[in-house]
Amino acid sequence: MHSLQVDLGDRSYPILIGPGLLGESAHFTNAIRGRQVLVVTNETIAPLYLEKVLAALQGFDKVDSVQLPDGEAFKTLDTLNRIFDTLLERRHDRSTTIIALGGGVVGDMSGFAAACYQRGVDFVQVPTTLLSQVDSSVGGKTGVNHPLGKNMIGAFYQPQLVLIDIDTLTTLPDRELSAGLAEVIKYGMICDAPFFEWLEANMDALLARDPAALTYAVERSCADKAAVVAEDERESGRRAILNFGHTFGHAIEAVQGYGKWLHGEAVAAGMVMAAELSRLRGWISATETERLRALLTKANLPQQSPEDMVVNDYLQAMSVDKKVQDGKLRLVLLHAIGDAQIVADTPKEQLVEALRACGAR
């Protein structure tokens, strides 16, 4: 088992990574302070892992579970309310711990429910997708979508523990594995050039689900993200580099309707847009955008805008993105692979040209 610590003062917590972890009681009993637990999962994950987790929780006084519908389309206040319904119907008090068993949607909603239930209860993440293991389970961003924007309602809320059972990746559909790799590639792009090179050399092993390669990629991604988050927990500055490709990606998700493109797929195309914009600005070369495109191709990820989206769709959607501050669009661009910077002065013409370079009409 590998472990690393996310350093956030009195909100610090460990991430444990290894095979078979979600069935081992000790990890839960060590981290959970109360005697009540609610496992939040979804209809896809429940048949695969819920029984195993409930067995590992046998020692607690009150063990309940709730199954949410699967998918980003259900990441809403209404679905969130189902978690509150269960907590109240089953009379969970302030000492309860919410355990998120599932991907990013389950994690984001469970974490937000934990942040809000009785103004805050404990929270453990058991992410079961590559995307949630390397991204959403680290850093404390929780929340739900609004019809007018993604993740617009939420909280910064840290878990007591993140338990990454690498075995769960064996049941992950190919498309979701690839979507998770988009965020893995992102860490290489924004702050870890040696990791980017490692990914260029090891993408085949990752797609073949080689456990050692996956463990390494997950651990290195978590460590990269944890370092950025430790510097700037509430995203007042540098943490925003983690949004590389995301402002474009959110526009794709919002316009296409949540769930049609997977988050990682939208981010993949968004990273190419941000890279092209960096190139147009004269910061990186065409060689570097090509390396990104080649790695994404290897990972079976898109690099182009959805065919039916026009430039104006992006401009409109991006103007309500959270990265807008006092009316200025803030984007993450690259000086080199591994060296990102936040800018607020993108000329509209360059933005349009970058979008066109990625197929937006």
Q: Which residues are annotated as a binding site for Zn(2+)?
A: 183, 246, 263
Which residue, 234 or 348, is less far from its own copies as judged by CB? Answer: 234
Q: Is 327 in the site for its own copies (CB under 8 A)?
A: yes
**Residue 228 half-sphere exposure toward CB, CA atoms < 13 A:** 29
| Angstrom distance (rounded) from CA 265 to CA 340 | 20
| Angstrom distance (rounded) from CA 254 to CA 250 | 6
Q: Is 343 in the site for its own copies (CB under 8 A)?
A: no
Which residue carries 């970058």 as its tokens?
Answer: 354
Which residue, 155 or 230, is less far from its own copies as judged by CB? Answer: 155
Bridge-partner residues for 328, per DSSP?
Answer: 325
Binding mask 149-188 for its own copies (x = CB under 8 A): x-xxxxxx--------------------------------
- Shortest spacing between CB 98 and its own copies, in angstroms: 13
Which residue, 10 or 307, is less far from its own copies as judged by CB? Answer: 10
Q: Is 319 in the site for its own copies (CB under 8 A)?
A: yes
Which residue, 79 or 278, is less far from its own copies as judged by CB? Answer: 79
Q: Is 77 in the site for its own copies (CB under 8 A)?
A: yes
Beta strands at 2-6 and 331-336: parallel, antiparallel or unpaired? unpaired
Answer for which of 12, 43, 51, 85 binds its own copies (CB under 8 A) is: 85
Bridge-partner residues for 172, per DSSP?
Answer: none
**In this structure, what token pair is assigned to residue 287?**
């060689």
Alpha helices in 232-321 (DSSP H): 246-256, 263-280, 286-298, 311-318
Binding mask 111-150 for its own copies (x = CB under 8 A): ----xxxxxx--------------------x-x--x-xx-
Length, in residues, of the chain? 361
Q: Which residues contact 319 (CB under 8 A, 6 or more apart)?
A: 329
Which residue, 114 or 206, is less far from its own copies as judged by CB? Answer: 114
Residue numbers in the known binding site for NAD(+) are 70-75, 104-108, 128-129, 141, 150, 168-171
Alpha helices in 192-239 (DSSP H): 193-207, 211-231
Q: Which residues are catalytic?
A: 119, 141, 183, 225, 235, 239, 243, 246, 250, 263
Bridge-partner residues for 340, per DSSP?
Answer: 334
Dihedral angle over CA of 133, 276, 315, 296, nearest 10:
-30
Q: Kindly indicate which of the ranges 12-20, 79-87, 287-295, 301-309 contains the residues binding its own copies, using the contact rule CB under 8 A.
A: 79-87
Bridge-partner residues for 329, per DSSP?
Answer: 324
Of residues 211-240, those binding its own copies (CB under 8 A): 234
What letters, b where the CB count within 10 A reaches 16 and e where it falls short, cover 101-113?
A: bbbbbbbbbbbbb
- Shortest spacing between CB 262 and its own copies, in angstroms: 23
List of residues contacting its own copies (CB under 8 A): 34-36, 77, 80-81, 84-85, 88-89, 91, 93-95, 115-120, 141, 143, 146, 148-149, 151-156, 234, 319-320, 322, 324-327
